[in-house]
């Protein structure tokens, strides 16, 4: 079965190379490769045992003198992120069908190349390979935003690039240090887990990894690149960043930070939870003041990710499982939100909330699907957002009651600013601008109907996802707890 994982990882890379030379058919070729990659993921899911083992494992020497192996595999935690990536990628590509991009073959090739980097990150069991995937996912999104972004794209993109590269360098220092401490002289993840590091070593290793992951998520106060980048990026770029790429940071915390530096997490975890809760409150309050709908959704994303971060560092099963399903749910919802706003912008040439209104009268189908996505975002029971946020709040509450109470404000605040935005954009009277608004059609319907179906299915039957990660999450919690108990 190892061939299945090799095919899963490298098919998008092959697709990127093919797409780069296909001219006007590039978007169709890219969509084909993304759909086939999703089909391979479904085969992997159908053959996946929902236990704590690593499956579809591939391991062969790569740079033997340095102990670097091409070692990858999938367990319950990585299966969620692989599913997220391969489900959203065809939707993101299909959502771009309404636009014509200059050098479209390069545009779609970069999207597929980014998928290759993302899948490498989510399946790597070798630290060097993980770092290669981490950087490989950054390069294409930089060019996507720099070439096809808005008017202020160069300044904004440079800030994003500097932030992420700086964080990556911190992580690289941590990886090199772990390699030097490893008597086996390799970059194996399991070997790093087994290292006997003291509290001081784990403390600074915590920060070397956390800074990189916190910037990518982003967690307050490492978030300042995010709103501008989301606003200036082309719509598919914003969807890639918000729907999938920020999950690299969340995954990194779970897969690398917690098991490698549990004492560092114990020492600094409370501080991170406080930062996460500050981020929830700060981003929610800023979202209230936004006049641009795209920036409002960008700030709402910071608030939601803050809750995920707090749930992870609560270090209990409820919080961790909540983070698992919320990664998937947030990805689906935020892609849906940004796509709806892109549809509005493509017709009206504005996302200014004050300039819109009454769209529901002209586009009832868009109004319905937009409402379903908003309901998922504000965690209405029966939608995908509910179970994740409920479990996250349970996890944070078990950690400390006051933290759970304050973190719960994300749901209240989110409902207020999201419903207010929906009301101002979709309801009320039409104006001179929105009177000619046309309803969704073609590929727009396909993408939005699939997103709405995912919101409802995951909301009604969350076990579909939760059972995949349950055993792996429990093993991770037990592993971290055992290390902390043996030290204390």
Share of residues in the chain with pLDDT > 90 (%): 39
CB 50 within 8 A of CB 79: no
Total structural domains in the chain? 2
Q: Give residue 115's pLDDT band: very low, low, confident or very high (50, 70, 90).
A: very high
Residues 340 and 398 reside in one and the same domain: yes
Summarize the confidence of residues 114-140 as an average pLDDT.
92
- Range from 92-101, 148-157, 197-206 carrying the lowest mean pLDDT: 148-157
- The pLDDT assigned to 455 comes to 94
Do 236 and 201 have their domain in common?
yes
Q: Which long-range contacts (CB under 8 A, 24 or more apart) does 402-409 make?
A: 403/273, 403/277, 403/310, 403/314, 406/277, 406/280, 406/281, 407/276, 407/277, 407/280, 407/306, 407/307, 407/310, 409/280, 409/281, 409/284
The last residue of one of the domains, among 260, 275, 299, is: 260
195, with CB counted inside 10 A (0-12, 13-18, 19+), is middle
pLDDT at 486 over 80: no
Residue 487: predicted pLDDT: 64
Residue 392: what pLDDT?
92
Please give the Cα distance from 339 to 348 (Å, whole number): 14
Are residues 193 and 294 located together in one domain of the fold?
no
Contacts of 267 (CB under 8 A, 6+ apart): 199, 202, 203, 206
What average pLDDT does range 120-140 have in this prediction?
92
Query: Strand pairing partners for 351?
Result: none
Q: Does the structure show a pLDDT above 70 at 2?
A: no
Contacts of 237 (CB under 8 A, 6+ apart): 141, 144, 145, 148, 149
**Residue where a domain stops, chosen among 227, 260, 293:** 260
The DSSP bridge partners found for residue 61 are: 69
Q: Comparing 36-40, 100-104, 126-130, 301-305, which segment has the lowest mean pLDDT?
A: 100-104
CA pair distance 366, 354, nearest whole angstrom: 19
Question: What pLDDT, on a 0 to 100 scale, did the predictor assign at position 488?
Answer: 58
Say whether both 251 and 290 belong to one domain.
no
pLDDT at res. 174:
92
Instruction: For residues 396 and 455, state if they share a domain.
Output: yes
The two three-digit tokens of residue 279, written as one number: 């981020």
pLDDT confidence tier of residue 349, bands split at 50, 70 and 90: confident
Question: Is 149 or 111 the better-scoring residue by pLDDT?
Answer: 111
Compute CA distances 163 → 136, 156, 351, whole Å: 16, 11, 27
Mark which of 231, 260, 289 sits at the end of a domain.
260
Which of 129 and 155 is assigned the larger pLDDT? 129
**Mean pLDDT, range 308-326, rounded to an integer:** 90
Query: Exposed (0-12), middle (13-18) or buried (19+): which is 447, by Cβ within 10 Å?
Result: buried
Say whether both 186 and 330 belong to one domain. Answer: no
If asked whether residues 401 and 291 sit together in one domain, one would say: yes
Residues 318 and 206 in one domain: no
Asked whether 136 and 120 are in contact (CB, 8 A), the reply is: yes
Asked whether the predicted pLDDT for residue 385 surpasses 80, the reply is: yes
C-alpha dihedral (124, 126, 132, 138), degrees to nearest 10: 40
pLDDT, tens digit (0-9, with 9 covering 90-100), for 415-459: 889 999 999 888 888 887 888 888 888 888 999 999 999 999 999
Q: Are residues 256 and 271 in the same domain?
A: no
Range of the domain at 250: 1-260
Peptide bond into 153 cis (omega under 30): no
The number of angstroms, rounded, from the C-alpha of 68 to the middle of its chain's C-alpha atoms is: 27
d(CA 299, CA 290): 9
Structure tokens at 236: 């598919």
Cβ(29)–Cβ(19) below 8 Å: yes
The model's pTM is 0.91
Q: Are 348 and 488 part of one and the same domain? A: yes
Average pLDDT in the chain: 88
Identify whether residues 401 and 351 lie together within a single domain.
yes
Residue range 161-172: mean pLDDT, rounded: 87
Do 217 and 319 lie in one domain? The reply is no
Nearest to 148 by CA among 284, 250, 239, 41: 239
Dihedral, 103, 108, 114, 119 alpha carbons, nearest 10 = -160
Residues 54, 123: contact at Cβ < 8 Å?
A: no
pLDDT in tens, 209-251: 999 999 888 888 877 788 888 888 888 888 998 888 889 999 9
């Amino acid at each position: 079965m190892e061939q299945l994982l090799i095919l899963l990882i490298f098919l998008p890379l092959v697709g990127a190379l093919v797409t780069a030379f296909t001219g006007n058919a590039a978007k169709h070729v890219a969509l084909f490769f993304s759909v086939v990659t999703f089909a391979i993921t479904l085969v992997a899911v159908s053959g996946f045992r929902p236990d704590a083992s690593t499956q579809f494992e591939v391991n062969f020497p790569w740079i033997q003198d340095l102990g670097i192996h091409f070692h990858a595999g999938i367990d319950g935690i990585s299966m969620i992120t692989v599913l997220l990536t391969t489900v959203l990628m065809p939707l993101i590509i299909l959502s771009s069908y309404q636009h014509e991009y200059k050098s479209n073959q390069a545009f779609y090739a970069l999207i597929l190349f980014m998928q290759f980097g993302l899948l490498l990150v989510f399946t790597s069991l070798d630290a060097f390979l993980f770092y290669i995937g981490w950087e490989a996912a950054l390069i294409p999104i930089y060019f996507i935003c720099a070439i096809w972004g808005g008017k202020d794209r160069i300044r904004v993109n440079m800030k994003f690039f500097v932030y992420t590269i700086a964080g990556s360098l911190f992580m690289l220092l941590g990886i090199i240090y772990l390699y030097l401490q490893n008597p086996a002289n390799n970059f194996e993840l399991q070997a790093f887990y087994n290292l006997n590091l003291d509290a001081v070593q784990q403390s600074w290793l915590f920060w070397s990894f956390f800074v990189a992951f916190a910037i990518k998520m982003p967690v307050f106060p490492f978030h300042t690149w995010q709103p501008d980048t989301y606003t200036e990026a082309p719509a598919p770029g914003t969807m890639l960043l918000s729907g999938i790429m920020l999950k690299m940071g969340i995954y990194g915390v779970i897969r690398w930070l917690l098991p490698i530096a549990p004492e560092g997490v114990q020492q600094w975890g409370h501080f991170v939870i406080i930062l996460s809760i500050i981020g929830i409150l700060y981003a929610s309050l800023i979202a209230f003041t936004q006049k641009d709908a795209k920036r409002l959704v960008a700030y709402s994303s910071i608030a939601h990710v803050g809750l995920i971060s707090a749930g992870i560092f609560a270090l209990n099963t409820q919080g961790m499982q909540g983070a698992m399903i919320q990664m998937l749910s947030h990805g689906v919802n935020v892609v849906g939100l940004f796509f709806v706003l892109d549809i509005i912008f493509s017709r009206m040439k504005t996302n200014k909330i004050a300039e819109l209104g009454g769209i529901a009268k002209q586009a009832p189908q868009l109004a319905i699907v937009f409402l379903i996505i908003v309901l998922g975002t504000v965690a209405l029971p029966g939608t995908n957002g509910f179970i994740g946020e409920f479990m996250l709040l349970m996890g944070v509450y078990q950690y400390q009651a006051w933290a759970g109470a304050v973190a719960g404000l994300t749901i209240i605040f989110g409902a207020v600013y999201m419903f207010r935005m929906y009301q101002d954009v979709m309801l009320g009277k039409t104006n001179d601008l929105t009177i000619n608004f046309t309803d969704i059609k073609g590929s727009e319907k396909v993408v939005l109907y699939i997103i709405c179906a995912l919101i409802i299915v995951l909301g009604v039957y969350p076990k579909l996802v939760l059972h995949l990660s349950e055993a792996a999450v429990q093993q991770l919690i037990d592993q971290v707890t055992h290390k902390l108990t043996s030290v204390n």
